[in-house]
Chain A
Amino acid sequence: MASPNTMIETEERRFRLALPKGAGLIWVLAGLCILATLLSSSFLNPVNVMNVMRQVALFGIVSVGMTFVILTKGIDLSVGSILGVCAVTTALLLVGGWPVAAVVPLVLLIGVCMGALNGLGITLGGIPPFIMTLGMMVMGRGLALTLANGQPVGLGARAADFMWLGRGAMLGVPVPVWIFAAVAAIAIYVLRYTAYGRQIYAVGSNAEAAHLSGIDVGLVTFSVYVVSGFLASLTAIIFVSRLTVGEPTAGTGIELEAIAITVIGGTSLFGGEGGILGTIIGAGILAVLANIMNLLGISPFTQQIVKGAIIIGAVLYEMLRKRRARH
């Protein structure tokens, strides 16, 4: 008796689960793009399209790291501050006369170290991710402001040999978009085709079962914060290159943006479910939405209200989907 019964149930469940999750999001994005074209003639203007893509790329890179973290049932609130510290250091080192070839790896290393600190606090210290990265967020911002003396650090004469990363283009596509594409491709590969990727999902689904399955839960958890820190510092470099200035307040609030993108993209805050493709589309949805509102001249204050409502809506949708799947 049990078997035919469960078969029918599960098939139905799969059907419901699969349909709105992957396919639904891309339609939301497509719908938004069509809406944008209808509402404003300048949406499809090449300059505007480039801008939107750059936006997607910058938020997208941080969000890929956030997706790794959230898949393990964690959270990283410190990415904005890591970005700030790295932006200031990039500018300071460049102004101090360091060659670009040395600055880039050094700054990436700083991001890795800050992420590692998060990871150590969480795994060895047993501090909840929310608290550990909250502390790091406050500390990091303080560090960025201290290093920069509270002032933006302009690149001055060094801007010329560093602008390419943020402002340049290859084959008509902005360099940051290429970088994002590479990051996303590697992340997709890692999550799908490597044992490490599986282990990330395993740790997020059930840490105890993961431990008993022979997975080094501490190491996997540690590693995702390193990845997140690394990608935040990479974003910082692109930021500075694009703006030709290292602002100590750079990246403020980007952690919330990245969490929103990840969640809208269908990655569960309860861990173990979701992926990079959703995150890419999520970044697209938020960027196009912001763009529509900008083009229509909607005030930034109103934009915040809309954005917040969308985050709540996305999580609510996930909850409803899960509840329905359970019955």
Chain B
Amino acid sequence: MNAIVGVSAEKPVTSAADVFLEMNGIEKSFPGVKALQGVSFSVGRGEVHGLVGENGAGKSTLMKILSGAYHADAGTLVLSGETITAPTPASMIDRGVAVIYQEFAQAEHLSVAENIFMNRLPRNRFGRIDWKTASREAMHAMDRLGFCIDPRRLVGSLSVAQRQMVEIARAISRNARLIVLDEPSAVLGDTELEKLFRTIRTLQAEGVAFIYISHRLKEVFELCQKATVLRDGKLVSTRPIAEWTTDSLIQCMVGRPIADYFPQRNARPGEEVLGVSGLSRGKALKNVSLSLRKGEIVGICGLAGAGRSELLRAIVGRDPIEGGEIRLHGKVRRIASPRKAISLGIGFAPEDRKTEGLFLSQSVRFNVTISRLGNFGSTARLNLGKERVSVRDYVRRLRVKTPEIDTAIGTLSGGNQQKCVIAKQLNARCDVLLIDEPTRGVDVGARREIYELLVDLVEREGLAVLMVSSELPEIIGMCDRILVMREGEIAAELPRGASEEEIMKHATFN
């Protein structure tokens, strides 16, 4: 109690009028972990406030306290000057706080209107649901946000971007005054992101405040008026955006200066290992040709829907192709399934680790070795000892932070999971690695490790890497050649050192 009194005495009372949210001296512990220590944080009306920090820095915990899902051990929560004593998720929604998580809580089999008005569908005099009003109101809410979806469509049939909009429309229809967006851009392409930003700005002008959580600092600079950095459960710094630079933000997040973020490349490409010519698949891929050489990292970028992931999926035989050929070490191969691709030495780390890349409930060991169990004795008699030795070796080499190799992989952080995905490909003895969004959901410190690992594999072990990424700095910093895709075609091939502007020019319409 002392702490609360002490902190609230310090707070400046003058700004109370334009401050919407104040969190003072928030503390939260879980068994064995101090998740938050004395965090004080405020957001003004109509302000977009960036909240950044590495995974595990306490961002999610802080937002869960704000949403009423967790209770703080100490500290106060003040909304519009009113101290909230026992927040619950329902009462916080009533008070105008809406949290939009990465994984939306939506009913996929219900319509857009039903999702927007969940639990509050308008009724007529007889208690029947008034669908006409519901549709009209839903259209109205979406109109305000500057987008339009048929309110009768099922949410399950929408794109991720559209579903995000529905989620925001729901918040707005409940008169939200503060909307928390948790990594909204992780699932969006550039044009969709542009739309999201427009919506945010429109609402901001109406006085709605936002807390914007993102790993992509560029967005924070573009959108936010203020940025706050959390590290190890403590608030490191809150400053107006003009006082931050990318370097100072990263330094603050990681707690140490980062000299140069991307490892030095010393490319000496050898002969071609993977060749693709005239690959076609419906509208997704049109006559795509590329060549990947030993010891080379080639990047593929483009807007969402340009066919980047589709290209990788077609090469590994996940999606059937309609035309074109694939050569491996100069030999034309028909790859009908991922099984075939693996046997030919093509490794594939898919875009969505959780749903496509990993067996979350299984151990690190299980996940790493499943790609080729024949490495350990025969498939009819696995040598578990040999398997453990091999996995321990990968864990050490790739610096995977895990208590044990039998720990469930779902409990590791994004960066460590991604390292396991790479280990899994190495276990399959691939010499070509196709990797889709290598650092999605990976925090800043671990990103660098992933980059170093990839460079190391390419330069020391002669791997060839084909890498898809939506993050241009990553493409520019890592790749020896850059392929820009647009509408299922390769629109341009650019050398190392191409600028973001140049890439964007080719990615969008001329």
Which positions 331-383 of chain B face chain A at CB distance < 8 Å?
337-339, 341-343, 348, 350, 355-362, 366, 369-374, 379-382
20 A-B pairs besides A201-B359, A208-B356, A212-B318 with CB distance below 8 A are: A1-B56, A1-B233, A6-B56, A7-B401, A7-B403, A8-B33, A9-B30, A10-B408, A14-B404, A195-B373, A198-B369, A198-B370, A205-B360, A205-B361, A205-B362, A206-B355, A206-B358, A212-B316, A212-B338, A213-B371
Task: Establish whether residues B348 and A212, one from each chain, have CB atoms under 8 Å apart when the complex forms.
Answer: yes
Task: Establish whether residues B408 and A211, one from each chain, have CB atoms under 8 Å apart when the complex forms.
Answer: no
- The interface bits of chain A over 177-217 (1 if a CB of B lies within 8 angstroms of the residue's CB, else 0) are 00000000000000011111011011001101111111110
Residues of B within 8 A of A17 (CB): 408
A3 on interface, CB distance cutoff 8 Å: yes
Task: Establish whether residues A3 and B413, one from each chain, have CB atoms under 8 Å apart when the complex forms.
Answer: yes
Task: Kindly state the interface size class of chain B when it binds its partner.
Answer: 35 or more
Chain B CB within 10 A, most for which of A206, A211, A213, A272: A213
B32 on interface, CB distance cutoff 8 Å: yes
Task: Establish whether residues B359 and A12, one from each chain, have CB atoms under 8 Å apart when the complex forms.
Answer: no
- The interface bits of chain A over 263-276 (1 if a CB of B lies within 8 angstroms of the residue's CB, else 0) are 00000000011000
Beyond A195-B374, A214-B371, A272-B362, is A10–B56 a contact (Cβ under 8 Å)? no
Which residue in chain B gives the minimum CB-CB distance to A14?
B407
Which positions 396-413 of chain B face chain A at CB distance < 8 Å?
401-404, 406-408, 411-413
A-B contact pairs, 28 of them (CB 8 A): A2-B54, A2-B56, A2-B413, A2-B443, A3-B56, A6-B56, A6-B413, A7-B402, A7-B403, A10-B411, A10-B412, A14-B403, A14-B407, A193-B381, A193-B382, A195-B382, A205-B361, A205-B362, A209-B355, A212-B338, A212-B357, A214-B338, A214-B339, A214-B371, A215-B370, A216-B337, A272-B359, A272-B361
Task: Establish whether residues A212 and B356, one from each chain, have CB atoms under 8 Å apart when the complex forms.
Answer: yes
Which positions 230-258 of chain B face chain A at CB distance < 8 Å?
231-233
Which positions 74-97 of chain A face chain B at CB distance < 8 Å?
none
Residues of A within 8 A of B56 (CB): 1-3, 5-6
Residues of B within 8 A of A5 (CB): 33, 56
Inter-chain CA distance A273–B373, complex, in Å, is 19
Which residue in chain B gives the minimum CB-CB distance to A197?
B382
A194 partner, pick from B55, B348, B380, B403, beta carbons under 8 A: B380
Inter-chain CA distance A202–B360, complex, in Å, is 10
Inter-chain CA distance A9–B337, complex, in Å, is 38
Which positions 302-354 of chain B face chain A at CB distance < 8 Å?
316, 318, 337-339, 341-343, 348, 350
Which residue in chain A gives the minimum CB-CB distance to B313?
A212
A215 partner, pick from B55, B57, B339, beta carbons under 8 A: B339
Task: Establish whether residues A213 and B424, one from each chain, have CB atoms under 8 Å apart when the complex forms.
Answer: yes
Beyond A6-B411, A9-B33, A10-B408, is A213–B338 a contact (Cβ under 8 Å)? yes
B31 on interface, CB distance cutoff 8 Å: yes
A13 partner, pick from B356, B380, B411, B443, beta carbons under 8 A: B411
Which residue in chain A gives the minimum CB-CB distance to B404?
A14
B428 on interface, CB distance cutoff 8 Å: yes
Inter-chain CA distance A3–B414, complex, in Å, is 11
B13 on interface, CB distance cutoff 8 Å: no
Residues of A within 8 A of B339 (CB): 214-216
Residues of B within 8 A of A9 (CB): 30, 32-33, 411
Residues of A within 8 A of B231 (CB): 1
Task: Establish whether residues B408 and A202, one from each chain, have CB atoms under 8 Å apart when the complex forms.
Answer: no
Task: Establish whether residues A205 and B408, one from each chain, have CB atoms under 8 Å apart when the complex forms.
Answer: no
Task: Establish whether residues A209 and B356, one from each chain, have CB atoms under 8 Å apart when the complex forms.
Answer: yes
Which residue in chain B gives the minimum CB-CB distance to A2?
B56
Inter-chain CA distance A96–B102, complex, in Å, is 67
Which residue in chain B gives the minimum CB-CB distance to A17?
B408
B384 on interface, CB distance cutoff 8 Å: yes
CB distance from B446 to the nearest CB of A (A): 7
Residues of B within 8 A of A3 (CB): 56, 401, 413, 416
Task: Establish whether residues B232 and A214, one from each chain, have CB atoms under 8 Å apart when the complex forms.
Answer: no
Residues of A within 8 A of B87 (CB): none
Which residue in chain A gives the minimum CB-CB distance to B232?
A1
Inter-chain CA distance A292–B338, complex, in Å, is 53
B44 on interface, CB distance cutoff 8 Å: no
Chain B CB within 10 A, most for which of A2, A192, A211: A2
Which positions 268-299 of chain A face chain B at CB distance < 8 Å?
272-273
